[in-house]
Amino acid sequence: MTDDSATEMYRSRTDALTTDVGDGRPIVFAHGTLMDRTMFAPQLEALRGEYRAVAYDLRARTDRYAPGYDLWDLADDCAAVLDGIGEDSAVIAGMSLGGFMALRFALAYPERVDGLVLIDSMAAPHPEDERAAFSDLVEPYEDVLEPMPRAIAEGSAAELFGETTREENPELVEAWVDRWATYPGKAVYHELNSWLGRPDVTDRLSEIDVPVLIVHGEEDPSLPPSRAEPMLEELPDAEMELILDAGHTANLERPEPTTDAIRSFLDERF
C-alpha cells in the first residue's frame, strides 16, 4: 500500500464518496478510467427496489489521486468501502479499470466476494504497443495540476464509446468529454498508470470460485469482446452477455440490456 491514509478515506468519508440506495444483498460498482460513480446511475435506480446498490468514486475522482498507486491498492480501497457501508461481503461489479480491480479484490479478499460482474474488462494486460501509446500520451502530465488539453478528452471518446453511440447519442458523449476536460492532468496520469503495467492474472482465475457475469459491449473499440472471452475458460463459474450497439461503456451506452443482464444474474444466482 502506497498511502494508507488514502484507503482510510473510504472508511471515514464513505457518505461523500458513494451513492448508496436500496436494501437487500449488496452490489458495489467500481467505474473505469475517466469515468465516475454517476455512470452507474441507471443500474442503481433499476436495482434499488431489490438490492442495496452502491457506486463509489475511485481515487482518480477524489482529492487523493496521488502519489502513485496500483490495482492492489484500489482493491484495498474497495475493502474499505465495504467497511464504510457496514457490509462483510458483496457482489463486486467493475467496469474496465474497475473490473481489473475487481479480479484482484477477489484474489486478495475471497471471503468478501459473493460474486463478480465484469463490464468491458479482462484478465490479461494490454499489448505492449497499446501500453506504450497510453504511456506516451499521459507522460507529460505527471506533475500537472491543470486540466489536460481538451483535444485529449475529445480523442478519448473514440476509445470509450462505441460507433453507434457516437452517431446516435452525441449529447451523451459530449457531456462526458466536457467532464473529462476538467480533470487534473496528474490525476489522469496516476489513473492510467495504476493499471498500465499490470501483470496477467489469467493463471489465477481458477481461484475465484464465485459466480461471475461478464458483460461486454459488442462494439467495444478499446477491449474487443475477444479479449474477455478467455476468462470464460479459466473462471470456474462464469457466463458472458454481449450488449449490442454498445462500446466500452456498455452499461452507460445501453443501460437497459446491461441492467437486465445484471438483474437476471443476481436473481438467478443469489
Alpha helices in 86-218 (DSSP H): 97-108, 128-138, 150-160, 163-168, 170-180, 185-193
Do 106 and 113 meet the contact criterion of CB atoms below 8 Å apart?
yes
Q: Is the pTM of this model over 0.95?
A: yes
* Other beta carbons within 10 Å of 67: 9
Cα 83–86–211 angle (5° rounding)? 80
Q: What is the domain partition of the chain in residue ranges?
A: 4-125+198-269
Q: What pLDDT, on the 0 to 100 scale, is given for residue 135?
A: 97
Query: Which amino acid is present at 147?
Result: P
pLDDT in tens, the chain (270 residues): 446 889 999 999 999 999 999 999 999 999 999 999 999 999 999 999 999 999 999 999 999 999 899 999 999 999 999 999 999 999 999 999 999 999 999 999 999 999 999 999 999 999 999 999 999 999 999 999 999 999 999 999 999 999 999 999 999 999 999 999 999 999 999 999 999 999 999 999 999 999 999 999 999 999 999 999 999 999 999 999 999 999 999 999 999 999 999 999 999 999
**pLDDT score for 1:** 40
- How many Cβ atoms sit within 10 Å of the Cβ of residue 257? 18
**pLDDT the model gives residue 4:** 85
Residue 93's φ and ψ, nearest 5 degrees, are -115, 120
Q: Which fold has domain 4-125+198-269?
A: Rossmann fold (3.40.50)
| 126 φ/ψ sector (left φ>0, alpha ψ -120 to 50, else beta) | beta
